[in-house]
Structure 1
């Protein structure tokens, strides 16, 4: 299970090297900015469908789900409507990572008057928007369910 963005980057580099002989490596950034269980589940459906497709043709795929704004509720421990599903998917998919916006988390914690706990699968990045820009600059396809 990927627990940090640095680990995801190392995994991406390793997969890219090993996949040259076997198949193509695809990279996908999935953006969630709505506190809507339907959108969150659609994002996770996208992850599962992309994984199944590329696996079926012998290719690799690296997926990062980036959440910010109201979408950060996707990663709030004890509050996320998809917490169990994220845990299961993270255990099944070594190529999947979750990035939580540090700006949103800081603001959410300040408003709550205490640190808002996030699920263990989510790594905090300084800015969700900046993370999406970085991923696109690294060649990731962008998907917003």
Structure 2
């Protein structure tokens, strides 16, 4: 059994990036500085890649958290202690800033993620480890 849960992607993230990049793009084009233009486009492609290549895979005994080439973490589902909703905006393999959960595992480790289908994700984990405490 393998179930993949894509990360929820907030629609305003690409819009925010473009809105903040427009002044640099205008300056780059006006000054014919194609390096600035190329850098902005490259950064945009990188951000989109990381946003849309973020997912969480549940296999028989593991939760794999994947975000592009930056994060590739395997967590044994048997070590997951609890899951709770969080408003943390700290950097995390989560493409949403609004719908995030924090997964606590082992003795004192945690990871913030944002599956598109939070309830389905939690239900799948509970099937494999019914001792997980789910906090609201």
Shorter-chain TM-score category? 0.3 to 0.5
Greater Rg by CA: 2
What is the TM-score with the length of structure 1 in the denominator?
Answer: 0.32
Between the two structures, name the one with larger relative contact order (CA 8 Å, sep ≥ 6).
1
Give TM-score scaled by structure 2 length.
0.34
